[in-house]
Amino acid sequence: MANAHPEDKSTIYGGVQEQGTAPRAFSPHPSNDGELQQDFQTDLVTAIEQRDLRRGLAERHLSMLGIAGAIGTGLFLSLGGSIQTGGPLGALLGYGTVGLVVCAVQFALGEVAALLPVTGSFVRHAEFLVDPAWGFAIGWNLVYGNLLSIPSELTAICVLFEYWTDLNPSVFIIVFIVLTVAVGFSFVRIFGEVEYAFAILKILLVIFLIILGLVIDLGGVPGTPRIGFRYWKNPGPFVEYIGTGSWGQFLGYWSVMTAAVFSFAGVESIAMAAAETQNPAKAIPRACKNVFYRIILFYGLAILVVGMLVSSDDERLNDQSGTAAQSPFVIAASAAGIKAIPSVVNAIVITSAWSSSNQALLSGTRVLYGLALKGQAPKIFLRTTPWGTPYMCVLLFTAFMFLSFMSLSNSAMTVFWWLVDLTAAAVLVSWSSVLLNHIRLRAALDKQGIPASSLPWSNRITPYTSRAALCMTLLILLTGGWTVFTKGNWSAVGFVSAYLDIPLVIGAYLIWKFYKKTSIVPLSEIPLRKALEQTSTSFSQDVV
């Protein structure tokens, strides 16, 4: 492997190839300890990742990755449950509230990632802007969550195939493990093209279902009456959940909001492969700021249409099969006599589940690579293929994919889903960290007298939206398991799955903090001027 010489050593941003470094050969071994130690002392884009990774993701890939992250199985299958819990208006308000939080998260991520386009995204940002121990804590929390989310998605694929066939589920597990690993080991551009294709399929299906739903609702299908907003009047726009009266209706809305968080899970991973993105200072902000329109168009219209199509007290919403049969779109289409819709929805949901597993693999492996860069994970995970894939990271995630075989045993499956539930709060922890990073960045700019307009991308309202969204995110996190505290609803498993992640993250933070004796980075000492200078240089050379 052609290591960078000390005099060639530089830390840079953007798409500029480091100067004076020979082309990289196959690197079966990580870089030498001296080079690693030098890289550990900075949070800028290191010479190691700049040399060993490849910029294969284009702006169009990032834009579609953002869409793929926002449109998942939850949109196709779970909206009916939200209507059932909160009513059509309660569900619309719940998803709308979380949608605004997601917009704030994406705008905050865009501002920081444009300045610091590093592998691992907000995990490395946390070390640079907050505390190295905090970066360690949320980094390993993300790795742990993605290690379990991939087999959970593979298990979901098996359940979805059961809608069509009784073939042994192990066949589908093996097939999709092979496919996922193949994408994971390939060029990052191949991953981008696969997700690009999936995103187009999902967009087309969502548009089709929204139009179909409106046609059914307005009586456009022969033999079906016009529905209009009938279900908003009876049984009503809200549903009483656990409580009664206005309080019960509020609890229904709040329950929808806590569930909606996990429908949007994954949108924060858009910048995880920033060091593998062409011109990240331009591409990442553009992809982030478009999330607002995606949420309004896809989730807003979809929830509105579902609330018009299906009554909140419809017994068919109790279907827990995990297949297309529980989709409110399928319920409405079946009632209208349209037989092909269930299979179409089921097929697209399968691609959505596999898309989610691919995104979890990319996100998890890049976070692990970033942790190894900073000396917070074994340096064996720095090994890359000639085309820039961190193959040792992929191998670790491949080993955990075989946990999906636990789905073949009922008792093992119970344990497996319990472990998956433990990672649910990690979404809110990640969002909180993105927002905290941004708040610290803006505070450091003020402290050092640097105008926000100096950033590669900025917005005048983000200092306010980040603070408001952080408060809301923490509130949702702390009330995530609120139902177990109500009379007759106590569940030890529910309590642990809702709250165990909080002490795990805090424990990891304190352990690394005391072990490495780290401290919160003073606002005046964050090297923002150096970062701005390097970002400006890389952007100008990218344009040239």
The confidence score (pLDDT) of residue 162 equals 80
Q: Which two tokens stand for residue 34?
A: 């001296």
30: Cα within 13 Å, side-chain hemisphere: 22
Q: Which two tokens stand for residue 447?
A: 């402290």
Distances (CA, A) of 316 to 266, 328, 332, 483, 494: 29, 9, 10, 24, 25
Q: What is the Cα–Cα distance from 474 to 480, expressed in whole angstroms?
A: 10
Distance from the first to the final alpha carbon of the chain: 29
206: Cα within 13 Å, side-chain hemisphere: 29
Burial class (CB within 10 angstroms; exposed 0-12, middle 13-18, buried 19+) of 428: buried
Return the number of other C-beta atoms located less than 10 Å from residue 494's C-beta: 16
Domains of the chain: residue spans and CATH: 55-437+448-531 (1.20.1740.10)
CA 332, 351, 151, 361 dihedral sign is negative
Closest CA to 510 of 144, 132, 146: 132
pTM score, whole prediction:
0.85
Number of residues in the chain: 544
The confidence score (pLDDT) of residue 275 equals 56
Q: Which two tokens stand for residue 284?
A: 């990442």
In our burial notation (b when 16+ CB lie closer than 10 A, e otherwise), range 199-220 reads: bebbbebbeebbebbeebbeee
Bridge partners for 27 per DSSP: 384
Place of tokens 């192990």: 170
Q: Is 234 helix (H, G, I), strand (E, B) or coil?
A: coil
Place of tokens 């082309």: 23
Closest CA to 401 of 181, 145, 124: 181
Cis preceding linkage at 235, omega within 30:
yes
Q: What is the Cα–Cα distance from 115 to 109, expressed in whole angstroms?
A: 10
The confidence score (pLDDT) of residue 346 equals 82
State how far Cα 399 lies from the chain centre: 22
Residue 142 is which amino acid?
L
Q: Which two tokens stand for residue 122?
A: 């907000």
Angle at 149 between CA 504 and CA 145, to 5 degrees: 20
Return the number of other C-beta atoms located less than 10 Å from residue 165's C-beta: 10
514: CB partners within 8 A, 6+ apart: none
Per-residue pLDDT of the chain (544 residues; tens, 9 = 90+): 333 333 333 333 333 333 333 333 334 444 444 444 444 344 454 555 555 555 656 666 666 666 666 666 666 667 788 898 999 999 999 999 998 999 899 899 989 988 888 877 888 899 889 999 999 999 999 998 889 888 888 888 887 888 788 888 888 889 999 999 998 888 777 887 887 888 888 888 888 888 888 998 888 888 788 888 899 998 999 999 998 899 999 999 999 887 788 778 777 777 665 556 667 777 777 777 777 677 777 778 888 988 898 888 888 777 666 666 677 878 888 777 888 888 888 888 888 888 888 888 988 898 898 888 888 999 899 888 887 788 899 999 999 999 888 877 776 767 766 776 777 788 899 999 999 999 999 999 999 999 998 998 888 999 999 999 999 999 999 998 888 998 888 988 888 888 989 999 999 999 999 999 999 999 999 989 888 887 666 544 444 4
In our burial notation (b when 16+ CB lie closer than 10 A, e otherwise), range 518-540 reads: beebebeebbbeebbebbeebbe
The confidence score (pLDDT) of residue 354 equals 86
Distances (CA, A) of 334 to 130, 224, 273, 326: 53, 11, 42, 11
27: CB partners within 8 A, 6+ apart: 1, 52, 383, 384, 386
The confidence score (pLDDT) of residue 24 equals 38
The confidence score (pLDDT) of residue 47 equals 52
Distances (CA, A) of 509 to 54, 119, 191: 31, 20, 32
